[in-house]
């Protein structure tokens, strides 16, 4: 197969061993479409998978803090020195959970596969703790 990307970024594949595709290949070359070498669709590397999945960890942690009414995890843990016992308890719980998540995520990212989806990856993440009541 030969793959070409047109001016709009759409990819077209033509089997060069089939004579009926010869005019399409010639037209792609004539239109100066970019020929894509290698396999298509492109296979993601493990490093690319790690780069794709890492932000999902931060997003999940932020979503957990937002579930409790905070803007994000940074906002939540800023209450560690609050004078309100409820806020301090929540900040401590979320801070411990954030540490647990990253303690899990770092080795998990090291062994991720390129085919792993965000959902599959995050399925192994430590669960958010119950919201403390003071």
What Rg do the C-alpha atoms of the chain give, in angstroms? 24
Report which DSSP code applies to 117.
-
**Which pair of structure tokens corresponds to residue 74?**
């940074």
Q: Are 57 and 125 in contact (CB under 8 A)?
A: yes
Q: Are 2 and 35 in contact (CB under 8 A)?
A: yes
Closest residue by Cα to residue 75 from 63, 103, 128: 63
Residue 42 has pLDDT above 70, yes or no: no
Per-residue CA distances from 53 to 9, 67, 112, 115, 125 (Å): 25, 21, 9, 11, 12
How would residue 95 be classed by pLDDT, with cut points 50, 70 and 90?
very high
How would residue 38 be classed by pLDDT, with cut points 50, 70 and 90?
low
């Amino acid at each position: 197969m030969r793959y070409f990307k047109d001016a709009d970024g759409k990819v077209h594949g033509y089997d060069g061993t089939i004579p009926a595709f010869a005019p399409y290949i010639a037209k792609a070359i004539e239109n100066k479409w970019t020929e894509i070498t290698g396999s298509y669709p492109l296979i993601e590397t493990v490093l690319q998978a790690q780069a794709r999945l890492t932000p999902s960890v931060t997003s999940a942690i932020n979503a957990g803090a937002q579930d409790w009414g905070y803007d994000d995890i940074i906002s939540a843990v800023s209450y560690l020195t609050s004078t309100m016992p409820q806020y301090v308890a929540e900040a401590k719980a979320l801070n411990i959970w954030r540490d647990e998540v990253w303690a899990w995520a770092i080795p998990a990212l090291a062994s991720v596969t390129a085919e792993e989806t965000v959902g599959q990856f995050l399925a192994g993440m430590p669960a958010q703790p119950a919201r403390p009541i003071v």
